A and B are shown apart, each in its own frame.
Chain A
Amino acid sequence: MTVAWPRSLWGRILAIILALIFVLILVSLVSWLWLKSTEPNVQDPPPAPLRILTQPIPDGPNADLLRRGRYLSIVSDCASCHTRGGGRPFEGGLGLKTPFGIIYSANITGDPSAGIGDWTPAEFYGALHDGKDDEGHHLYPAMPYNHFDMIPRADSDAILAYLKTVPGSSYAPPANRLPFPLDIRIAMIGWNAINFRPHPFKPDPAQSAIWNRGAYLVEGPEHCGACHTPKNILQAEEQDKALQGSVIEDWYAPDLTGNPRTGLGRWSAGEIVEYLKTGRNSHSNSAGLMSEVVAYSTSMMSDSDLAAIATYLKSLPPSPDTSSPAPDAAAMRTGSAIFFDECTACHLVGGKAQPGMFPPLPGSAVAQQRDPTGLIHLILGGGRTAPTAAKPTFQSMPSFAWKLSNQQVADVATFVRNSWGNKAPPVTAHQVASVRSELKLQKPELRK
């Protein structure tokens, strides 16, 4: 096909103008793409404080019940899952990413139709205890009824009474995104038959009262195992590996046992309390999903309950230590150079970090988890420490996704996992690529 050069003067002028416009559009498009590709990732803010959990509840006939109900809802960490970024407290809509698909949390505000305003105490107890909603439909176990079934009826009633006072929202969360046949809730009958036995909390008479309180909080309302216990193929918690650490939503919930390398073996009970209360201690700063747990739950718990949790966690026997292959010397060299260039402003040469400000890397449990997903996520996407009343600063690790290639991230992660006495399996570029793709983070552009 040929295009004839117009014969008339006006035709020629028009053709030139059209050509110029075309070139202009092309230039704009190219520069737009260029600018877009070199813009660094700007990351999400840290969890915002929820005023509804700190505002004083005024005196009144029900005040004691409502205050107790609110405290119990804090202990059960309802807000972390039932509040989505930008949404109103407890109106749900947060997408929980499971290997099977996305499950959206429910609206549990006082709204009678969209929320739980019209639920009876028996129906609410049924949800916590049997995993069924007010109409008898099965809940998905993303709602941790396998932990909440330990909550006694009186506590369940108090939580419901409080939630009914939460300003109602008519927001309807999106439909879950699950494949057939999991999208049929009746399928959960089968899951429950295999994986779920209601088990009220049984105190161990051989242990102290504080230990038993801690065991109840960890196993029951605070549902630590929902993230920190490895899951089997059906996504049920593997009880023989309780709290030994698990991948969860592209993060890694670390080992909470007494393992000195990957767990809490090097933390004192007081340091565990400090971490849960303030979001940080001399070993670590909260990041990822744990920042939400600290912001909406543990930072507002009583010191005695936190001490109980610490007592119980410190009693857990260490998880078995596994061997890891030696890292490649070339990867360690590259990783060391990247670490010097990119990490030492905060973590300092030698990795010990600015004391009281950023977490030290020698001995870091987060760095040495067997599965590197959490560390890769931190490097690619960054992390946010929870702002708390005691320590309102949210330390922030910046995103390196736009700056470092998969191989570079792998090398620096391998270096951090195997320096200063640390020991953990090396990280591959393939592992980094997989986390990058799950997080939908851009790749660094080659700049000429």
Chain B
Amino acid sequence: MAQVLPKVDIVLVGFGWTGAILAQQLCDAGLRVLALERASSRSTPVTWATTFDQDELRYMWRHHLFQNVKYSTLTFRNNVNQTALPMRHLGSFLPGTGVGGAGIHWNGQIWRWLETDFKLKSHNESRYGKQATADLTLQDMPLSYQELEPYYDMFDKICGTSGQAGNLNGAKQAGGNPFEGPRSAPYPTPPLPMTYGPKLFEQAAASMGLHPFPHPAGNLSQPYTNPLGMQLGKCTFCGFCEKFGCGNYSKSSPQTTLIPYILTKPNFELRTEAEVLKVERTPDGKHATGVTYIDTAGVQYFQPAEIVALTAYQLHNVHLMLLSGIGQPYDPASGQGIVGKNYCYQTMSGVDLFFDDKLLNPFIGSGAMASVIDNYNGDNFDHSGLGFIGGAYVAGMITGARPIEMVRVPDGVPKWGLEWKRAGAKYFLRNMGLSVHGSSYPQAGNYLSLDPTYKDQFGRPMLRMTFDFPQNDLKMAKYCTDRATEIANKMGATHIHPKPRQGPYDITHYQTTHNVGGTMMGDNPGDSVVNKYSQSWDVPNLFVTGAGLYPQNPGYNPTGTLAALAFMTADAIKTKYVKALGSPLVAA
């Protein structure tokens, strides 16, 4: 029997980006907030001091910052005809664990969706006909870019995002992204400076009539103090950003922008090493009473709360919804059900470049130091006759030259031995990659569910992922990689190796930690799990945040949009929901 604890106003399940955003907003509104985090407490300058953080073996290869599959994993299969097996080593994606979540080891690439990404299904159908989307289970978001813009702006100001606006209140700005939706304010800090590699990309793209602009970055170009008084420092381009913590206050993370502020609040409490097992409900199932969690000693607690918010990673939010029996699980055979539906990923391709005559010094790097073009993303180009929809941004990016991961050699060089060593040494400072960061659209057979066979350490069914790349996305990857290759040619590289993403999906090799969908947002309970305020249709005092809200994944890194949605959710809770406890904010 679980020990019953004193009730709080809101319990947050998971304390990464969205948990921290809700905590900050709702503490300031006077609510008693409790955050439960399954792993340990961490602070960037202490846990990842600049004197030892650049340890590739420890952090990258031994997964020090990532979810430990010994305690938490999932099962995987490519399609419903296969039997899923548990992942015993993470590969394709690397979710975080502990305070700050994956917000610690992300690259700081802060994007907004295009205006058309919010109405993806209706927009594509009106432009290319219903046939263009027939094989995909696309859905429109229940809100517009304009509704979300103030919250995008809040996140930019919290992070101090470095970048160059391309559209300020409808007026196009030179040097920015001409395709982006109107911004209400410029980026808080100027763009990051670029090294030679991204500059070569910028020059080549511009000479081809494309529109290069500096990658928007949560790695700051100059010291910045955010509206909460949190201070960030200038990035030193140490090259250990993605998959590493930043002890230098240069990378926007929950720890550098929000958490120390929240910890000064008397109405906030954080409990670490507290793993939530289930959302508990009243007997009629229509009201959440709180959550049951377990500590590292194996003791179970029932934590009552007026509001429950699932603020964990997308995979865990979906898992908890399924384990708690909230909403109908999706069944691909019948097409019925909604929880777990529209699981999408990110279709990552690239082009490898090697220069015999140019030194790029890629050890000077940062998580978002890049020149980017958005000409081939979303519906920024005419897809007529191409046989696919969606697209990718192409970035000439240098995140660093980590000595184990990034000894790269041209295709055809042996994988080991003297020749490999020679080529590795020759090209270590002379290579870079173009990232082709593609959209991922849903199809009926891709979904998340409970595994019928395998159980986790608490005896609960594991989460099962069923996923393969839709033909639409593979065609998109080929087309966009071809366009990137044209830029590579213009850059004058000696060896150019296009690497368009090809099926079947291989979960063992790293691609990106952009898992989305499963707790879709929509405008009616028939085709979504939550409403536009991230409020559950079935249990009105339950809110779900994160990338699980996306019905599909546009060609952008998900953090910017999920953070904006979390600000919008917090706003709805404090201005609307607390005045109408227990009521739906959108009529079903």
Contact = CB atoms under 8 A, between A and B. Distances in A.
Interface of A: 40, 42-43, 45, 48-49, 51, 54-56, 342, 345-346, 354-358, 382, 387-396, 398-400, 403
Given A357-B249, A390-B229, A396 B234 contact: no
Given A43-B46, A393-B256, 15 more contacts: A42-B46, A42-B47, A55-B266, A56-B266, A345-B236, A345-B238, A346-B248, A391-B225, A391-B229, A391-B230, A396-B247, A398-B49, A398-B50, A399-B49, A399-B51
Nearest to A40: B52
B260 interface: yes
B300 interface: no
A55 B269 CA distance: 13
A328 B238 CA distance: 33
Contacts of B46: 42-43, 45, 396
A13 B225 CA distance: 69
5 contacts: A55-B266, A354-B223, A389-B229, A391-B231, A398-B51
B264 interface: yes
Contacts of A395: 45, 231, 249
Contacts of A400: 51
A49 B233 CA distance: 23
Given A45-B43, A346-B233, A398-B45, A392 B266 contact: no
Given A345-B238, A357-B233, A387 B263 contact: yes
Interface of B: 43, 45-47, 49-52, 223, 225, 228-234, 236, 238, 247-249, 256, 260-261, 263-264, 266
Given A356-B223, A395-B249, A398-B51, A54 B264 contact: yes
B229 A392 contact: yes
Q: Is the interface of B mostly helix, strand, loop or mixed?
A: loop
B42 to A, nearest CB: 10
Nearest to B262: A392
Given A51-B266, A357-B249, A396 B229 contact: no
Contacts of B229: 389-393
Contacts of A403: 51
Contact of A392 (B45, B230, B232, B234): B230
B49 A40 contact: yes
Given A48-B263, A355-B223, A399-B51, A392 B248 contact: no
A396 B229 CA distance: 16
Given A345-B248, A346-B233, A346-B248, A49 B49 contact: no
B289 to A, nearest CB: 27
B260 A392 contact: yes
A345 B50 contact: yes
A393 B255 CA distance: 9
Contact of B234 (A43, A56, A354): A354
Contacts of B51: 40, 342, 398-400, 403
A392 B233 CA distance: 14
B218 to A, nearest CB: 16
A49 B249 contact: no
Contacts of A382: 49
A396 B256 contact: no
Name the residue among B228, B263, B264 with the largest chain A CB count within 10 angstroms. Answer: B264
Nearest to A50: B266
A43 B51 CA distance: 12
B495 to A, nearest CB: 34
For the complex of A and B, 7 pairs with smallest distance between CB atoms: A396-B45, A398-B49, A392-B260, A392-B261, A51-B266, A393-B231, A55-B266
B253 to A, nearest CB: 12
A387 B266 CA distance: 14
Nearest to A278: B229
Name the residue among B231, B248, B260 with the largest chain A CB count within 10 angstroms. Answer: B231
B235 to A, nearest CB: 10
Given A345-B248, A355-B223, A357-B223, A393 B49 contact: no
A392 B49 contact: no
B47 A392 contact: no
A334 to B, nearest CB: 19
A262 B263 CA distance: 34
Nearest to A43: B46
A387 B265 CA distance: 12
B247 A398 contact: yes
A346 B50 contact: yes
Contacts of B266: 51, 54-56
A393 B249 contact: yes
A54 B266 CA distance: 7
Given A45-B43, A49-B264, A355-B223, A392 B228 contact: yes
A49 B238 CA distance: 32
B382 to A, nearest CB: 46
Name the residue among B49, B230, B248 with the largest chain A CB count within 10 angstroms. Answer: B49
Contacts of B232: 357
